[in-house]
Every structure is written in structure tokens, then in C-alpha cells.
Amino acid sequence: MSDRLSVFKTYKLYVGGKFPRSESGRVYEVTDSKGSWLANAPQSSRKDARDAVVAARKAFGGWAGATAYNRGQILYRVAEMLEGRKAQFVREVADAEGLSKSKAAEQVDATIDRWVWYAGWTDKIAQVVGGGNPVAGPFFNLSSPEPTGVVAVLAPQDSSFLGLVSVVAPVIATGNTAVVVASEKSPLPALSLGEVLATSDLPGGVVNVLSGRTAEIATPLAAHQDVNAIDLAGADDVLAKELEIAAADNLKRVLRPQPVDEVDWSADPGIDRMTGFLETKTVWHPTGSLGASGSSY
């Protein structure tokens, strides 16, 4: 009979490519579907949220400036790393959502496939939503998508891993950086995802993961002047309304949450979550005798 003590995992935030504890020093208990203790998760503060925005803004220029092909390679690398840690995520998803190991394995497989799916879209989305526009006159007119900037993402409360990746991957696939608020009741898969991102080729700061009380973290993010957009997937109706009002202060893009009973995270995701955080740049260029100079707006 072994007298060996179990080594419990210490979960930390993921901000700027590093793993800090919450600035406040607070933690909260995370339990499984039956109420049994799983771990203590860091309870993020407003300062943690501000630090995550600073890290995301610092990383934005390099990530947005990377080639779409390179971003696709990096997202595929994340999928490779997840494949190698599948057993860990199966266990965490099963505990978080009260699933059998086989059902949890299906969720994890679907999540890895979702990363690969978005990896394949990085160098194709511009062809779908951009292109040449017909104009009357001696000009040609080209439209191309560009990332919005720093996006705050409230992860779904009911899907700790597949739903999480379904809202994070499209944001970074198109060149944005993200501040992710993990599911309040099931944050452990999101915090473990940070470990995977840190050991992949994803630059630090592109994705930042916070855990804690969703309303406490999301409120300063919605009002933050350096956050350009917010995905309210994990907000209930009351919180979503409050955050939408706060976001109006600096005209953020807001992706409103769907009713929980209408969301199927396993369904074909389409491209809406990618185009939701893209801006369109249009360039006009004269042809013929008007010269070689052009303008854009």
C-alpha cells in the first residue's frame, strides 16, 4: 500500500504568455457536477482584467501583421498540442460537465477538430469577404478585411471546452487578440488551455485567460477604452444588457449572446464569428491616364 501523497494542480491565470496568480490573491472553489471539490481557481480582479488588456494590445501589432498562412500554422500547432494532452482534457471536461468519459472524449475530439477547422480558414476568409468591387468610372476598387483589435470574450457557461474554443478560435484566426473570461462554474479546461497555448507557437498576449466571477471581470472590460469589441456568449440576459450599455461608451463591436436553448456548439460554426470581428478596408485606385496614386478609406 502506497503512502505517496497526491500532487494537486495549482491553476493560474494566463496573461501575456505568463502564469500569474490573481493580483488580489483570491481563489474560489471549483466543484464537479455533484458538488465535490476539484480545485481552487484564481479569482481575477479588475486589475487582472486591465493587465490582460495591456498584454493583448501589446501583442496585437505582431499578430495582426503576421501572414494569414502563418496564423493557420500556429492554430494547427495548438490542435497538435491538444491531441497530445487529450486524456487530461477528457478528465477535466467530464468533471466539469458531468459527462461520461466517452461523451467527454467526443467533446474533446470535436474541440480539436474545431481548432483545425479555423486553422484552415485563416488564409481563405479574405477571399470570401473581400475582393474587387464594380465601380462606374476609371477606377478599380478593392475591399479587404482587417482585424478589429482587442476582443473581450465571455466564454459560454454551459460548454467548458468546445464552446470555449468555438468563441476564441475565430477571434484569433482573423488576427485579433483576445481577453477570455472563462466559464465561472467550469473554468479548469480554459485555464489548462492556457498551458497548451504557452507551449505552442502562439505569441504571448494573443490569448489571455482570466477566471473568476464573470460579472466582476466583464464589467471593466466592457467599459475599457482600449477594448475594441466584446463577445457576450457567456453572459445572461441581465448582464448582457449592462455590458452592452457600458460598451457603447467607445462604440465597441458587440456580439450578442444567443438564447442558451438555441445554441448547439457541435454544429457547423459557419463564418459569422470570424466576420463579426473584422473591419473592411476599401482602396480606390485610378486607372488609365489619371496616374498611379490612389486613396483608401
37 band by pLDDT with thresholds 50, 70 and 90 = very high
| pLDDT value of position 263 | 87
193, pLDDT greater than 60: yes
Q: What is the three-state SS of the chain?
A: CCCCCCCCCCCCCEECCECCCCCCCCEEEEECCCCCEEEEEECCCHHHHHHHHHHHHHHHHHHHHCCHHHHHHHHHHHHHHHHHCHHHHHHHHHHHHCCCHHHHHHHHHHHHHHHHHHHHHCCCHHHHHCEEECCCCCEEEEEEEEECCEEEEECCCCCCCHHHHHHHHHHHHCCCEEEEECCCCCCHHHHHHHHHHHCCCCCCCCEEEECCCHHHHHHHHHHCCCCCEEECCCCCHHHHHHHHHHHHHHCCEEECCCCHHHCCCCCCCCCHHHHCCEEEEEEEEECHHHCCCCEEC
Its domain, for residue 72, covers: 27-296
CA-CA distance, 111 to 212, in Å (whole number)?
23
- Residues paired with residue 279 on neighbouring β-strands, in sequence order: 146
9 inside domain: no
% of the chain at pLDDT higher than 90: 79
226 inside domain: yes
- Is-contact 220 51, C-beta < 8 A? no
CA-CA distance, 24 to 43, in Å (whole number)?
8
267 inside domain: yes
| pLDDT value of position 205 | 97
| pLDDT value of position 58 | 98
CA dihedral over 271, 155, 189, 221, signed as positive or negative: positive
Q: Across residues 12-41, what is the average pLDDT?
A: 94
Q: Domain with 156 in it: what CATH number?
A: 3.40.605.10
Q: Where is pLDDT greater, at 184 or 127?
A: 184
72 inside domain: yes
pLDDT in tens, 229-287: 999 999 999 999 999 999 998 889 999 998 877 789 999 999 999 999 999 888 887 87
238 inside domain: yes
126, pLDDT greater than 50: yes
pLDDT in tens, 137-175: 777 777 888 999 999 999 999 999 999 999 999 999 999
2 inside domain: no
190, pLDDT greater than 80: yes
288 band by pLDDT with thresholds 50, 70 and 90 = low
212, pLDDT greater than 80: yes
- Residues paired with residue 40 on neighbouring β-strands, in sequence order: 29
| pLDDT value of position 284 | 80
6 inside domain: no
Domain count for the chain, please give it.
1
5 band by pLDDT with thresholds 50, 70 and 90 = confident
User: Residue with C-alpha cell 489548462?
Assistant: 192
Cell of 242: 449592462
CA-CA distance, 230 to 178, in Å (whole number)?
9
1 band by pLDDT with thresholds 50, 70 and 90 = low
Whole-Å CA distances, 97 to 11, 37, 114, 273: 18, 14, 19, 24
| pLDDT value of position 297 | 46
216 inside domain: yes
pLDDT in tens, 65-108: 999 999 999 999 999 999 999 999 999 999 999 999 999 999 99
CA-CA distance, 142 to 297, in Å (whole number)?
11
Cell of 140: 478599380
